[in-house]
Amino acid sequence: MSPQAALALTEDRRRCTGESHQALCALLEDDGQPLSVPAARRPEQALLETAVFLSCCKIGGVCEHPLGIVQVRPDEDQLALRLANEPYVIYYWAEFLLPRLNDYDEFSSPQDRIIGVPGLRYRRERGGICLYRPGMPASILLTGFNPRWWDRVVDRLAPDYALLQPKSNWTPEERAAYAAAAASPCEPPSIYSPLLRRIRTTAGPGPVNGTDAWHAVGGDVRLETTDGPRCPDLIRLLGNGPTGLGWGVEHKRCTCLCDHTHADVGCTIDFREPTTGRSVYYSNAKWGRTLDDRRRERIAELNREAFV
């Protein structure tokens, strides 16, 4: 196989995950087919990825990489995420993921009793921080930063947040929250887990990218980027391309100046997810943010405050 042909076979997966061509070459088969993105094999893995994705969407547009994720390495039994090598990104991940009790009344929903990801624990492993749920065959490995940063952030958060990390087993409140989430029709893993495994798909060419997702009225899904990719690229990568999810386009209003033009700004695409039949309403706000001196000063400030 020629180098040019090999590059073409890894192109779409590289765009979805940020993996290097050199790393993916070893996965190429002799059949000449483009590389796909593997799905989580176990339901527990897909549920963990869904919970992590939805929690980290609260981070907003903090850097060039959506959710602070530089690269995804998807495997059927584990997901490895390389995060931006910035202390403030690690702080946000720990703050939004690590579970703690919420001071709600006894009549509140079980999912409202836990802030963060119910049952989530972490341990140091060679190469990074492993997120897992005790007794479940699911894990996410965080890499790309000094693991001591994670420990320092947790030490900062623990006195104020009463984190549940020291408890090796699930608390009753976490069990109830997990059961409610697993039974909820509002957060289907068949949508959110594949999106996390393809999170680089939502990155635009600009220096600041934000990606958010949440369930809309009626159980459908809203997916939003602040400065996302060109619509044709997103449609190919999530549709029927080699890395795609088979999402069909039911309506599109595009201002990318790529296939047709409109007078206003912003793009919207209404996808239909075939597994659940739900709509995924996508919008690209096109804020056009830049990495100016004010943002650089803010990043430096956030990095200083991450361990204080």
Helices (H), 70-146: 87-97
Q: What is the DSSP letter of 39?
A: P
73-77 long-range CB contacts below 8 Å, 24 or more apart? Answer: 73/17, 73/19, 74/17, 74/37, 74/38, 74/197, 75/38, 76/38, 76/39, 76/40, 76/41, 77/41, 77/42, 77/45, 77/137
pLDDT in tens, 29-45: 878 889 999 999 999 99
pLDDT in tens, 221-247: 999 999 999 999 999 999 988 889 999
pLDDT in tens, 77-131: 999 999 999 999 999 999 999 999 887 666 578 888 899 999 999 999 988 999 9
pTM for the model stands at 0.93
What pLDDT band is residue 184 in, cutting at 50, 70 and 90?
confident
Asked if residue 257 has pLDDT above 70, the reply is: no
Rounded Cα gap, residues 219 and 217, in angstroms: 6
Q: Please give the helix or strand (H or E) that residue 57 lies within, else none.
A: none
Q: What is the pLDDT of residue 261?
A: 45
Which of 98, 100, 112, 186 is CA-nearest to residue 142?
98
Rounded Cα gap, residues 225 and 38, in angstroms: 24
Q: Which of 95-109, 259-273, 279-293 has the lowest mean pLDDT?
A: 259-273
Q: What is the pLDDT of residue 107?
A: 59
What pLDDT band is residue 72 in, cutting at 50, 70 and 90?
very high
Asked if residue 290 has pLDDT above 70, the reply is: yes
Q: What is the pLDDT of residue 105?
A: 64
End-to-end alpha carbon distance in the chain: 53
Other Cβ atoms closer than 10 A to 213: 22
SS3 8: helix
- Domains along the chain with CATH numbers: 43-187 (no CATH), 191-284 (3.30.460)
